[in-house]
Chain A
């Protein structure tokens, strides 16, 4: 099991891509039609002012089938997943879920995954958690570790091999 299985264009990814494609077509055909472009989503969007994300425009682009354009754009990675757009949409369109599907599509199409996502994924594959135990600093600059604070040992998958077998199925499982 490697990170490639979950993220690249490898053969095992064909099914996964088909599935995400299916999700996007469904969103395009059934969901984007409900949107009447009131822009209530964009009005409350946490990423709007700072990073110019306009969720209502993403829905409009989806409706017109401009999926590749969005998948290739950096803007989909500016969403903070605050879920305000899903909460407040009068038509239950949930732009945030469209953005998740688009990002998943970008990943499965072999696009470069931004930031620390790859490292976090790698860590999950090896120890089940996004990171291992870290040393922390106190306000007066002493370093401390989990066990030094009297906390019990970290809970993580007991049998990493079996845990990985489960994860592998995500990349190859048929719908």
Chain B
């Protein structure tokens, strides 16, 4: 069954985390997902929640309203954006007064938030909508003998109260997807630890320490690679890995991938099309057929 989504890029993915976007655009159509580009999206507002929560709510509602205007459901690859838009739906769904107020503000751009559209993230799109069986059937290059650690990202798994696509204490959907690619996954004690990404804004050293601590543990557990599904997390674990290593006095060399890069490889997409040259961690350590 073909399904159509508007791709909501957010800020970080389309301005620097190109590997995620490239691998999404290459691999999802192979699973009968049609992605539509809409002009006019803005920041989801989540990075601004510490500055002004109303601004967050407004920006999220604005993006949801824009998708509604195009009568499209939203595919949101960033965990942080997905949280902001989920929470907006939750708040405006339960608070008609706030909905009215936000809609009053949205009128300046001729937008109205109704709450009719659906939203999905990479993980539930692949696991719940496409399904692991379909993925299994389409795998051309299985990832046999590769042991991977997963990282979901705090914003994807909590808070349950507003509705999240995976379980907060025992998330397993990425594992199921990776196993459909015939890779091996193993749980590890630090699996739910934060990447520190948000602190990059005001306490960058501490942010890197969080990243370093988690990657060091992953390295010591002997994983072949580390898989994430959020541009903020990936920026920390991949783009800033060597700096993160300095904060914990470790020489880190953990290959870090976006889930969609591995998916693309397994589906037979050429390496060059998945932005793998943009990963700054040593992804060449892994040989893919």
Contacts and interface: CB of A to CB of B under 8 A. Distances in A.
| Residue among B52, B54, B105 with most chain A CB within 10 A | B52
B55 interface: yes
Interface string B2-14: 0000000101101
Interface residues of A, number: 66
Interface in B22-56: 22, 25, 37-43, 47-55
Interface stretch (A26-34, A35-43, A58-66, A157-165): A157-165
Nearest to A140: B277
A138 B278 contact: yes
A73 interface: no
B193 A86 contact: no
B15 A162 contact: no
Contact of A124 (B42, B50, B158, B202): B42
Given A82-B194, A100-B49, A130-B11, A155 B40 contact: yes
The B interface is mostly helix, strand or loop, or mixed, namely helix
Nearest to A116: B201
Contact of B38 (A134, A155, A163): A155
A86 B22 CA distance: 34
Contact of B52 (A162, A163, A170): A170
B235 to A, nearest CB: 11
Contacts of B55: 6, 167, 170
Contact of B14 (A16, A146, A165, A173): A146
A87 to B, nearest CB: 4
Contacts of B62: 166
A139 interface: yes
A89 B206 CA distance: 25
A103 to B, nearest CB: 4
A81 B49 contact: yes
17 contacts: A78-B206, A80-B196, A82-B194, A86-B159, A100-B53, A107-B51, A114-B203, A117-B202, A121-B51, A128-B42, A130-B43, A138-B278, A139-B277, A156-B39, A159-B109, A162-B109, A173-B105
Interface of B: 9, 11-12, 14-16, 18, 21-22, 25, 37-43, 47-55, 58-59, 62, 101, 104-106, 108-109, 154-155, 158-161, 168, 193-194, 196-199, 201-204, 206, 209-210, 275, 277-280, 283-284
Interface of A: 6-7, 16, 19, 46, 50-51, 77-78, 80-84, 86-87, 92, 94, 100-101, 103-104, 107-108, 113-117, 120-121, 124, 128-134, 136-140, 142, 144, 146, 149-152, 154-159, 162-163, 165-167, 169-170, 173, 175
